């Protein structure tokens, strides 16, 4: 259908630049703590390995606490106001990191950063799933999450230049400049996006009347068909065991992401070199994201496109335990992380298709899955202590187990959904 293809292209041009830029900065700001750590912050604030683990964990506490309430708010207010507003708030919080003089202040700010960022990722995925069909979502989620990977990779590149070029400028440490610059960029983009991010078809000014009708007819889910009983939606979702299978699937990709700079540093790459050498894993992740997601959409298949990459990643993590050569282990870490992250968009597209009965149910399911998945940081932050370097036996062993468990969960989910479809 020519009109529909034209509409989809229009959606891609108007919606994607906004959400992708926002998500890029979301991950850039979130991961800046890892780059600041190896850039002098640990020494200046006397941070131990356990302190850093607490920093990662306390962000997750704030994130988990606020995520579901944030997305309940999103279903009742305009996304074009809510999402840029929380972006400006978390950007301001990042700037405040540059002022800390002790680790206690750092802990408090990390908690509030988790609160501020909690509503964005599930909120943005809910917004995308409200504009695109099921078969259109996986590759678009891939591009969306590519922006997150680019944010993490660009974070290492930007951190390297800032730490090297601005350290000591005006008497300010390089890691403090890192927070100032990244936070100000986020605030500026948040203000700009306020004027461009759309809400729903019926209120979108850049769609004509015919396009609004077409967009409304193809929505997934239909924005107008809110559940008649908001009171019970949370309880119904919590009782749905599919959520917990999704939780097992997404957990496997979270425990290592904050520790890529730490792992590369342990392999012999120090200082700014550790920042730059943390980039290749993210570049490989981009390739895997696009390859797996496009294949999934073309073949209209999800179970194998999740389980196979997870299984491969699990095997690579096992191999990492026994490899002692620095260069070989670095290559394995790059591919293990990249392949692992490549299956992530498949999970979210699968989730959206499985909880598409009402907008609120979809939004809360997205938030609940992310909240439970972020609990991985409660234990994941302790899997990669500096005392375990360079082998990181515990970290690689647990990551391998998570990958294999996630692969098994995806197979179970496939049969559960197949059984539900037959019942319907």
- pLDDT at position 5 is 86
Cβ count within 10 A of residue 217: 10
The percent of residues above 90 in pLDDT, for the chain, comes to 22
Secondary structure element (H or E) that encloses residue 44, with its range: helix 42-44
**61: Cα separation from own chain's centroid:** 16
Percent of the chain with pLDDT over 70: 83
Q: Are 362 and 265 in contact (CB under 8 A)?
A: no
DSSP per-residue string spanning 153-177: HHHHHHHHHHHHHSTTGGG--HHHH
pLDDT in the model for residue 228: 41
Q: For residue 220, what pLDDT is reported?
A: 47
Task: Set out the domains of the chain in order of their start, with CATH numbers.
Answer: 2-198+233-419 (1.20.1250.20)
Better-scored residue on pLDDT, 127 or 420:
127
**C-alpha neighbours within 13 Å on the C-beta side of residue 351:** 34
**Cα gap 22→93, rounded to integer Å:** 16
Kindly report whether the global pTM for this prediction surpasses the value 0.85: no
- Residue 380's nearest CA partner among 54, 66, 51, 38 is 54
| CA proximity to 190, closest of 111, 84, 296 | 84
| Residue labelled with tokens 């890691």 | 175
Question: pLDDT class for 357, splitting at 50, 70, 90?
Answer: low
pLDDT in tens, 92-150: 999 999 999 999 999 999 999 999 998 898 888 888 888 888 778 878 888 888 887 78
How many Å apart are CA 132 and CA 215, to the nearest integer? 9
- For residues 94 and 329, the model is more confident at 94
Between CA 349 and CA 128 the distance in angstroms is 10
The answer, yes or no, to whether the previous bond of 128 is cis (omega within 30 of 0) is no
**343 pLDDT more than 50:** yes
Handedness of CA 32, 151, 261, 270 (dihedral sign): negative
Q: Is a pLDDT exceeding 60 seen at residue 370?
A: yes
| Average model confidence (pLDDT) across the chain | 82
């Amino acid at each position: 259908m020519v009109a529909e293809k034209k509409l989809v292209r229009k959606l891609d041009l108007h919606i994607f630049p906004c959400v992708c830029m926002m998500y890029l900065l979301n991950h850039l700001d979130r991961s800046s703590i890892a780059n600041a750590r190896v850039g002098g912050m640990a020494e200046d604030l006397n941070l131990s390995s356990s302190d850093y683990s607490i920093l990662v964990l306390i962000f997750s506490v704030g994130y988990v606490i606020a995520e579901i309430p944030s997305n309940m708010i999103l279903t009742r207010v305009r996304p074009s106001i809510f999402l840029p507003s929380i972006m400006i708030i978390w950007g301001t919080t990042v700037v405040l990191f540059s002022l800390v003089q002790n680790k206690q202040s750092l802990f408090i700010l990390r908690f509030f950063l988790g609160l501020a960022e909690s509503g964005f990722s599930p909120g943005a995925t809910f917004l995308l799933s409200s504009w695109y069909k099921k078969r259109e979502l996986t590759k678009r989620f891939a591009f969306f999450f590519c922006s997150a990977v680019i944010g993490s990779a660009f974070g290492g590149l930007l951190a390297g230049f800032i730490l090297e070029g601005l350290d000591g400028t005006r008497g300010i440490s390089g890691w403090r400049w890192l927070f100032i610059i990244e936070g100000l960029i986020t605030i500026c983009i948040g203000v700009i996006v306020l004027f461009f991010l759309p809400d729903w078809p019926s209120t979108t000014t850049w769609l004509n009347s015919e396009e609004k009708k077409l967009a409304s007819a193809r929505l997934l889910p239909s924005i107008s068909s809110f559940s008649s009983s908001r009171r019970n939606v949370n309880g119904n979702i919590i009782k749905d065991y599919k959520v917990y299978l999704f939780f097992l699937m997404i957990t496997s990709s979270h425990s290592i992401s904050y520790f890529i700079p730490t792992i590369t540093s342990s392999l012999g790459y120090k200082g700014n070199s550790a920042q730059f050498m943390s980039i290749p894993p993210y570049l490989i992740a981009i390739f895997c994201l696009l390859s797996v997601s496009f294949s999934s959409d073309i073949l209209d298949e999800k179970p194998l496109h999740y389980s196979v990459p997870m299984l491969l990643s699990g095997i690579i993590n096992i191999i990492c335990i026994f490899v002692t050569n620095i260069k070989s282990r670095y290559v394995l870490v790059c591919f293990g992380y990249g392949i692992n992250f490549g299956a992530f968009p498949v999970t979210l597209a699968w989730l959206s298709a499985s909880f598409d009965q009402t907008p609120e149910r979809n939004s809360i399911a997205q938030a609940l899955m992310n909240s439970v998945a972020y609990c991985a940081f409660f234990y994941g932050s302790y899997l990669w202590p500096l005392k375990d370097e360079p082998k990181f036996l515990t970290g690689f062993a647990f990551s391998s187990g998570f990958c294999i468990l996630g692969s098994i969960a995806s197979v179970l989910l496939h049969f559960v959904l197949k059984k539900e479809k037959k019942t319907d």
